[in-house]
Amino acid sequence: MQNYKYVLEVDSSTENQFLSIINEYWEIVGNKFVNLPSSIEIKYDIDRQILLDIIQKNSVLKLFANCINCEVTISGFTKSQSDFKSKLRSFDTLKCTDCKQKESVRVIELQKKQDNYVKNRMLLAITEQRWEQLNEMEFNILKSMLQFQDFKAFTKSEHPKYEKKFFWRTIFHLEGLFLIYLKKSETGFIIGYKTLFELKERIGELKIKKVKTEHVILDKLNFRLVKNKIFNEFDESEFSGIITFNQEIILKPNTKYSYGVWNKLNGDMHISIIPLNELESKPKQHSLSNEPIHIQEALREYYKYIKTRGN
């Protein structure tokens, strides 16, 4: 707290009988009044309203303090002890007009810089078409944000459509991509958002990239032959079942394949068909020798590998 200077001004027409009341009321040491209004009321046998009338009609306490940034003196005045207390709090952060103006210019410049930075990042996001990185649900949230502009209206309409965590995570994700800009309160609450006109006007043409599912064609076959548990008829197969492959498998003509069949512990069989050229390019797995691998050996190792993987 600053060291304030005080000057008590008393109206020259004040009746003499009030002078001691006024002086006692405004007696101040440090930044504290020596006498409470209640003790003055008792001493002079007057009520609060009369005391305040006497004080406010005849006197004023002037305060002088330095601007917190420079040496300029700022003055203020108070008409009562309680008013003085609240004035003191504001005096503690008081700045002169000049300092205030300089500061507001600085704040405006800083804000402009920040706005420019955000705008450039948002323009870059458009150039890089970052919405393409979104999945369909995230993309829909972005589109409704572009349509709504008003955060309250947007959340009221869109929030119930999504899982809560996903909804909020997406909003922060969109902010991270600079597709939107979130306006936050000092305590970090979202109070609104901005989107660029440049993005909004393209809303109709925005599209996400459809994830291309890679079409892999396998040229080898591995599957289990399930042991028939109710195997009792003469012509019934020992192994039978239904199998669905989730990939296309092509076995080419005029290509050498090696096949292997072996028993599984539970009685099932395992069959594997693999092109020879794949085995040729397969590195030796166990031997430490630098010798080139014989196809037979590679075959054994390959089947061993398949067997330990189960199906």
Distance (Å, rounded) from C-alpha 146 to C-alpha 148? Answer: 6
Least distance in angstroms from the C-beta of 178 to Zn ion: 39
107 vs 218, which CB is nearer to Zn ion? Answer: 107
Stretch that binds Zn ion, among 9-17, 98-106, 243-251, 301-309 (CB under 5 A): 98-106
Stretch that binds Zn ion, among 65-73, 127-135, 142-150, 157-165 (CB under 5 A): 65-73
Q: Which residue has the tokens 């990239």?
A: 209
Least distance in angstroms from the C-beta of 105 to Zn ion: 14
Q: Applying CB under 5 A, which of residues 34, 36, 42, 70 lies at the interface with Zn ion? A: 70
Residue 233: DSSP 8-state: S
Stretch that binds Zn ion, among 69-77, 105-113, 183-191, 261-269 (CB under 5 A): 69-77
Residues 134-173, interacting with Zn ion (CB under 5 A): none
Distance (Å, rounded) from C-alpha 274 to C-alpha 261? Answer: 12
**Is residue 74 near Zn ion by the rule CB under 5 A?**
no
Sign for the CA dihedral angle at 140, 146, 150, 151 comes to positive
Distance (Å, rounded) from C-alpha 30 to C-alpha 5? Answer: 9
Let me know the angle formed at the C-alpha of 42 by 38 and 46, rounded to the nearest 5 degrees. Answer: 90
Q: Applying CB under 5 A, which of residues 60, 72, 206, 273 lies at the interface with Zn ion? A: 72
**Is residue 67 near Zn ion by the rule CB under 5 A?**
yes
- Residue 307 contacts residue 265 (beta carbons within 8 Å): no
Least distance in angstroms from the C-beta of 101 to Zn ion: 10
- Residue 226 contacts residue 268 (beta carbons within 8 Å): yes
**Is residue 295 near Zn ion by the rule CB under 5 A?**
no
**Is residue 249 near Zn ion by the rule CB under 5 A?**
no
Distance (Å, rounded) from C-alpha 291 to C-alpha 58? Answer: 113
Binding site for Zn ion (CB under 5 A): 67, 69-70, 72, 96, 99
